[in-house]
Chains A and B, each alone.
Chain A
Amino acid sequence: MGYSGVRGGQEAIAAAERLVQESRFGGRSAWLELDQITERLGLGVDRVMGEAGLWAPELAARAVRQAHGDLLEAAQLLRAHRSTLPRFGYSLPVGPAELRAVRRVSPAHRNPPGGQVLGRTTDYTPRILDLTPEERARPRRAPGPPGAPAAAPARRPRGDRPDADAGLRAAGLLPDRRTGDDPEPYDITRAPARPGTPRSARLSALARAETGSLTHLWYSCSRAPRPGGHEIPLELRRGRLPLRVAHPHTGRPVTVAGVRVTEARTVRPTARPRPDGTRFDAGYGLCYGENEPKALAMAGLDLLVHRDPHTDRLEQKVLIALDGPEASGFLEHLKLPHYVDFRSTVERVRAVRVGAGAGR
C-alpha cells in the first residue's frame, strides 16, 4: 500500500516526543511528587480542576506535572481524560447553606450576622518576594505528627450560613433569583451553551471559564460606564460542600466526597426600581477550589448578563468566548499547515490586482 511515503511525519513526531520526554524525566532535580504539587502548588491544582470541570486533585496534579506547569494545557489534559469516563448518574443538589466556611468576608457589612472570618489569605500580606536563603527556608517546614493538621481550624464560623441579606430581602430591596420550580440544570458538556440557554448553562460556563479570560472580561465591563451604581459583594466564602449521591439500592442520600469551593454573591443598585419593586440586581458565583478572583468575576458577570444580555453581546461572550482549552486550542491551531488555503487566498489577491490593472 505504499506506506513508506507517510513515514516522514511520524518520525518527526516521535523525535519531538523524545525531546519532550527528556525535559520531563531528565535533569538533575528530584522527581516531583504529586503531594508536593497538591500541597505546595494547590492554587494551580484548584484552577486546573475548575477549568477542566472535574474534581480530582491527584489527577489534576498529574496533569500539571505532565504539562510542565502550563495550567491551560493541564486543563486540556484533564478534560480529555474526562471524555473517557462514561456518565452513569448525577449527584444530588446541595444548597449553599451546607457550605462549611473556612473563610468568609462580607464587604457590604461591617459586622454581618455570623461575623467576618478572614481565614487563610494573603490579601493583607505585603507582596514582598521572600528572599530567605534556601538553607534557612527549608528547616522552617516543621513536620507535624502525621495525619494531624498543623493547626486545627480555630472554630467553625458561627451558624451555617446566617442569612446576612434577610433584612434587605425583607425590605423588598433585594430580588430572590431562585426559581420556585426545580428544573434539571442545563448540562453544557452534553448540549452546547448558546444565547438564550437557561441561567444554569451560564453559571456552568462561567465556572469552567479560564480565570484570566474571566478577569479580563469582568475588567473590561467594569471600566465601561454602566448605568446604576457600582458593584459591592455581599459575601465571599471559601469552604467545603458535601457531594451526595442516591444509594443505588436504598435510594437514600450518601455523602461520597467533599469538594472545596469558593462562592461569591454580589449586588449592584438599579437606576430605577424593577417591576417587583426591588432596587438591586444580584449575581452569583461558585467555582471549584480556592479561586476568589474567579468567583467574584463570575458573580459580577452573572449580574451584568442578567441585567442586559445584549449590550456588547455580553451573554454570547460569557457563553462562548471564555473557555480556556477552546481559546488556546484555536489560537495554537494557527501553527498547523495552511498552505492549501494560503494558495487560494494569494490567487484571489492577485486576481483583484489584475482586475484593477495591477496598480492597486
Chain B
Amino acid sequence: MTAQLTTELAGPPPSPGIFDELSKREIRRAMLSGIAIPGYQVPFGSREMPVARGWGSGGLQATLSLVGEDSRLKVIDQGEDAGVNASNLRRLVAAHAGCTEETDTRSADIIQSRHRIPEQPLRDGQVLVLQVPGAEPLAGIVRDMDEQRRMHAEADYSKMWVRLYEDIVHNGLITEAAGYPVLVEGRYIMTPSPIPRWDVPKMNDSEAITVLSAGREKRIFAVPPHTRVVPLTFDDRPFEVERTPGAACRLCGSQDTYIVQEPGPDGTFSAWVCSDTDFCRRRRTGDAPAAPAAGGTAQGGTA
C-alpha cells in the first residue's frame, strides 16, 4: 500500500535507498521557487544524505531530484572529474538513479560541481548544481539571522557596501577571494558558492540554469537562464579575477583558463595546470573552443 501511495503521488521510485520520492518532489518545488525569485534563498526541509553535512548533501539532494535514467551526469570537484569526492558522489547518484556517467561538459544534462563552473560555456537545457557550504552572503557582516532576513527583504545592503569600502581603505583593494558576492537581477545579493572570481562572470546571462543548494543550512537558491549576475564593486574599482602574468597550463599551454599550482621539475610549486581537467584534455586534442567563457572581461556592478 505504501508503494502504491508514493507511486500515485510522486511517480515510481527508480530504486530505494537514498531518499523517498515525496521528498524529491519537495526539493523540486524549492528549486522552482528559487528559479521564480532569482537569488532568493528558499528554505527547505533538507534531508540527511549518505554523505555528511558539508560534503555536498545539498547538491546531492538537488541532483537526485533532477536526474532520471536517461540523464547524463557530470560531477566535478575543484574542476576535476577524477577526484575522490567527485567520484564518490557520481557513483552514488549513478547507482541510485541509473543515469549515465559523463565527463564531457558539452554532453552532460546535469553538472554537479563543487567550487567551479566549467570553462566550456554552458548551453540551453543544462542544469549546473553548485554545492554551497555557506548560503548567506551577509553572514560575515551581521550575525543575527533575523537581521540578515530583514536586510534581504528590504534590499538594505548598505552594510555590505560599507564592508567593501572599508576593505579598500584597509587593504587597497577588495580582498574577497572565492565566493565573491554578486547582485542577482538587480535585487538579491547572493553568494555564488566558493567559485573563484574567474568563474563569476560565467553566471551572468548564462544559457543554463544554475541551482545552488546548501544542505546543512537548508536553503536552495537559483539563477535562471539569461539573468543579470553582477559582482559587487565600485565605479572606480574594476572587478578583478585571478590572473598571474606569464603563467600558463603546463599541459595545454592555455592562459585563458583557471589554473592552479603544481610542483614543477624542481619539486617546488613552480608549474601551473588547468583545474578543469575535461576542458584541458580537449584543448590538447583540439576539441575545445579557442576562447572559453569570458573570464575577467565583465565589468563590475556599482553602488
Chain A residues at the B interface, C-beta cutoff of 8 Å: 1-3, 5-10, 12-13, 76, 79-80, 82-88, 187, 189-192, 194-196, 313, 316, 320, 325-326, 328-333, 336-341, 343-345, 347-349, 351-352, 355-356
Contact = CB atoms under 8 A, between A and B. Distances in A.
B145 A316 contact: yes
A333 B196 CA distance: 18
A326 B49 CA distance: 11
A84 B20 contact: yes
A10 B177 contact: no
B48 interface: yes
Interface string B239-266: 0101110000000000000111100000
B234 to A, nearest CB: 16
Given A341-B179, A348-B173, 9 more contacts: A3-B103, A13-B84, A84-B17, A86-B22, A190-B26, A195-B144, A330-B216, A341-B115, A344-B196
B216 A326 contact: yes
A80 B48 contact: yes
B21 A86 contact: yes
B196 A86 contact: no
Interface string B38-58: 000001111111101111010
Contact of B145 (A187, A195, A338, A348): A195
Contacts of B172: 352, 355-356
Contacts, number: 181
B258 A340 contact: yes
Given A84-B17, A191-B43, A191-B45, A344 B197 contact: yes
Interface stretch (B74-82, B153-161, B201-209, B290-298): B74-82
Contact of B48 (A2, A12, A79): A79
Interface in B251-286: 258-261, 275, 277, 281
Contacts of B77: 336-337
Contact of B49 (A80, A189, A356): A80
Given A79-B48, A195-B145, A344 B6 contact: no
Contacts of A356: 171-172
Contacts of A190: 26, 45
Contacts of B302: none
A341 B52 contact: no
Task: Report whether over half of chain B's contact residues are helix, strand or loop; otherwise say mixed.
Answer: loop
A190 B52 CA distance: 18
A82 B48 contact: yes
A351 B20 contact: no
Contact of A355 (B84, B87, B171): B171
Nearest to A2: B103
Interface of B: 2, 5-6, 16-23, 26, 43-50, 52-55, 57, 77-79, 81-88, 90-91, 101-104, 107, 114-116, 133, 143-146, 171-173, 175-179, 194-198, 216-219, 240, 242-244, 258-261, 275, 277, 281
A55 B107 CA distance: 45
Contacts of A85: 20
A349 B174 CA distance: 10
Nearest to A343: B260
Nearest to A10: B87
A328 B47 contact: no
A313 B18 contact: no
A79 B82 CA distance: 29
A336 B85 CA distance: 7
A187 B44 CA distance: 12
Contacts of B243: 347
Nearest to A336: B85
Contacts of B18: 83-84
Contact of B87 (A6, A337, A338, A340): A6
Contact of B178 (A5, A9, A195, A344): A344
A108 B29 CA distance: 51
27 contacts: A3-B103, A5-B82, A5-B277, A12-B84, A76-B48, A79-B48, A85-B20, A87-B20, A190-B26, A191-B45, A192-B46, A192-B219, A325-B53, A326-B53, A329-B53, A329-B54, A330-B133, A340-B78, A340-B178, A341-B179, A341-B196, A343-B242, A343-B260, A344-B242, A348-B175, A351-B240, A352-B171
Contacts of B52: 76, 325, 328-329, 332-333
B21 A340 contact: no
A280 B217 CA distance: 35
A355 B169 CA distance: 12
Given A5-B281, A87-B22, A313 B144 contact: yes
A192 B218 contact: yes
User: Which residue of B90, B216, B277 has the most chain A CB atoms within 10 A of its CB atom?
Assistant: B216
A79 B135 CA distance: 22
A352 B219 CA distance: 34
B57 A316 contact: no
User: Which residue of A10, A191, A337 has the most chain B CB atoms within 10 A of its CB atom?
Assistant: A337
